[in-house]
Amino acid sequence: MTAFAYNAWYPLAWSRDIGREIVTRRVLEEDLAVYRTEEGVVAALEDACPHRLAPLSIGRLRGDAIECGYHGLTFDCSGQCVHAPGMPRVPESFRVRSYPTAESMGMVWVWMGDPEKADRSQVFHLPQYDDPAYSVVEGDALLVQANYLSLADNLCDPTHVVYVHQTTLASAGREETRVQHERQGNKVVTWRWVIDGPLIPIFEGLKDFGGNVDRWHYYHYHAPSIAVIDFGSARTGTGAPEGNRDDCIQMYACHFITPIDQRSCVQHWLCLKNSPADPAIDERLRSNLRMAFQEDKRMLEAIQRNEDKPREWHRIHLGLDGSSIKMRRIVEEMAAGNG
């Protein structure tokens, strides 16, 4: 069983999906009732009335408070009960847990651990998101019926691309290209370069390099649940490996993972690209990325089904597993120290 790190900011939902209707989200096996206040701030409360455990998410909003749909107990954004039918004075002990929230990069984030340790300045934000040289292609909230660390393994691993994503992200003949990795605090960086090769299918039509390219893949995994993949291409021989990327295609594929429970997670994804927004190009890119992530989903869910079967099995490790081993060690350290 996976031990969760609670003192961390987790993606909760797309900002676009949270409004003045109560919705429910599950994070780290805990159910939350989520909504916006009249001023637009996101509130997240434990989704269970302490009277008889009726879900607050099937209640109704009274201003900025939730009224339980069973007996009318009403809880404000802090989780304090402010009205209990038949009781002129509500005891202080009548309350539900409230979770700190923040918004960044079009996402609502939630702090599942000690609220005293919730530092909103530490919510993840990629500088390129605000850079006018980049445009944003917002994606989906993909339900994956697999443990979130299995998805994390995938997002620390450039080598699977050749086999899983042959029609979208890979080109043939590069199976043995060297992969490097290192730990940087609570982050693992994994990278590989492909020198003098063709454009990957997803980049075709975006820029004409007139021939082969040098392309890079840098996988930045911020434990416990954020992955940013910096990938791009430049005309071969123009110095991209040395840092000259003035004339290139560059994208950041951002993956914000919500662990639901031991066997499921949500993969929120978006893409930043160093070219202007274009409805036709953006929709093609979104469609291709959606296809690629469905390919991952199919593989990871099949793995989870096998993991759930009783069997005699001892995991073997390959050289390519180094970065995922580092990632899992960081998560174990965070979980052991509650963040």
* Rounded Cα distance, 135 and 118, in Å: 30
What is the torsion angle, in degrees rounded to the nearest 10, for the CA atoms of residue 78, residue 83, residue 89 and residue 94? -50
Q: Return the closest-CA partner of residue 96 out of 13, 23, 39, 34.
A: 34
Measured CA to CA in angstroms, residue 153 lies from 9, 150, 327, 329 at distances of: 20, 5, 8, 12
Six token digits for residue 2:
């996976």
Helix (H, G, I), strand (E, B) or coil at 53: coil
* pLDDT tens per residue across all 339 residues of the chain: 788 999 999 999 999 999 999 999 999 999 999 999 999 999 999 999 999 999 999 999 999 999 999 999 999 999 999 999 999 999 999 999 999 999 999 999 999 999 999 999 999 999 999 999 999 999 999 999 999 999 999 998 887 666 665 565 555 545 556 889 999 999 999 999 999 999 888 888 888 898 999 999 999 999 999 999 999 999 999 999 999 998 999 999 999 999 999 999 999 999 999 999 999 999 999 999 999 999 999 999 999 999 999 888 777 777 778 899 999 999 999 999 875
Query: Per residue in 5-39, pLDDT tens?
Result: 999 999 999 999 999 999 999 999 999 999 999 99
Cis peptide before 55 (omega within 30 of 0): no
Walk across the sheet containing 107-111 and list its strands.
9-14, 107-111, 101-104
Strand partners, 217: 192, 231
* Rounded Cα distance, 175 and 203, in Å: 19
Query: Per residue in 40-78, pLDDT tens?
Result: 999 999 999 999 999 999 999 999 999 999 999 999 999
Q: What are phi and psi of 34, to 5 degrees?
A: -125, 140
Farthest-apart Cα atoms in the chain, separation: 78
* pTM for the model: 0.92
Residue with tokens 């990957």: 200
- In the chain, the domains with their CATH numbers are 9-121 (2.102.10.10), 126-336 (3.90.380.10)
